[in-house]
Structure formats: structure tokens, C-alpha cells
Amino acid sequence: MNCLEQKIVEKGIVKEGNVLKVDSFLNHQMDIELFNEMGKEWKKRFADKEINKILTIEASGIGIACVAAQHFGVPVVFAKKSKSINLEGDMYVAEVESFTHKNKNQVIVSKKFLDENDRVLIIDDFLANGCALQGLISIVQSSGASVEGIGIAIEKGFQAGGKIIRNLGFHLESLAIVEGMNAETGEIFFR
Ligand code: 5GP
């Protein structure tokens, strides 16, 4: 069991509706030592890739991406969630349905910060159905940049996202893959 899996077993809370609560160390209070280990691990797993930018999505991806970026020595860009339809300026836009909030957001990235010269590592906290990732991938592709890899902290392997993204041919590295969870007993099983 790696340190993220260990932390999930110790501190994760299984909620009804296939939601894993990890707000004590991942997406509200943040365990920076753990983030640092995660960044180190992604750097190892993407060692053969020439990455010059990390892309994530607000809010939960930002902390993880920033700590990881120190291992890659590259800047982080985060996609902003925007409800407004009248977007100002030159933006890449994608529509993303939120698994946890069940609403749709447009996510935007300024054209100033992503272009065809970029080789991007996408980082996010969770992979469930893959909507967030597909939005980020579409933003990278519309900029002409390449997706060199995708680093996810927790993949819920019983939901479709991981399979969809791997079938599209992307190099996806999830540090913990939850295969099942039981809201009654609190048990969590890993792949
Ligand atoms: P997807 O777009 O892959 O369906 O869901 C990814 C997004 O939903 C993640 O960025 C994360 O914020 C949120 N999410 C999905 N499943 C969970 C979960 O079980 N727990 C938490 N805390 N967030 C989740």
C-alpha cells in the first residue's frame, strides 16, 4: 500500500452515493508532505516525458498541482469555473458537469497561457466519470498543445472515467485506484 492509499484508509470517509470524503488531507485541509510524495511519484512515472506546463482545475486540483510542479520545475495553469456565458477576451472554453455538485460549469483558460508549444501534464484530485478530465483535454487540444500525461490522485475504478481516458490512448497515472467502497462499514478496497 502506498502512502496515499494508507492515508485514504486512515482518514477517508465513505459517503452514500459513491462519494469518498478526503477533506482532512486532500481537498480542504491539505497534507503537504503527502502532496510532495505524490509529486515525486508522478515525476518518476512521467520521467520520459518532456513536460513544460501543468494544467489543473480549480479549486481542489490547485494545491496538488503546485506541489507537484516543484518536481517538474514548470508553471501551473488552472482552469477557472465560470457560470457566465458572456466570456470576455480570448479564452479556451469547455463544458464540465460536476460529479459532486451535479451542475454544469464552463471552464476557461486564457489563450495567453496555453499554446501549440506546450507539452502538458494534467493533474487533478479525483477521477470519477471523467467529465472534468475530458474538459481539460479538450482545452489542451483546442490550444494545439499536447497532452503528455495525466496524473490523478484518486481514481474511482468502479466508475467509467479511467477506462474511457485510457481507451482514448492517454498515459494516465492514478496514485490510488479505489475498486469499491462500502458506506455502511466504511471499508475501502484498492485495485
Ligand atoms: P468526474 O468529472 O471524473 O466525474 O469527477 C471529477 C471531479 O469530481 C473531481 O475533480 C472531484 O472534484 C469530484 N469528485 C468526483 N468523485 C469524488 C469523490 O468521491 N469525492 C470527492 N471529494 N470528490 C469527487
Atom of ligand 1 nearest to the CA of 129: 4
| CB neighbour class for 36 (10 Å; exposed up to 12, middle 13-18, buried from 19) | middle
Question: Is the distance from CB of 125 to CB of 96 less than 8 angstroms?
Answer: no
In this predicted model, what pLDDT tens digit does every residue of 139-170 receive, in sequence order?
Answer: 999 999 999 999 999 999 999 999 999 999 99
Q: How far is the CA of 161 from the centre of ligand 1 (A)?
A: 10
Question: Is the distance from CB of 173 to CB of 150 less than 8 angstroms?
Answer: yes
Give this prediction's pTM: 0.95
In this predicted model, what pLDDT tens digit does every residue of 42-55 receive, in sequence order?
Answer: 999 999 999 999 99
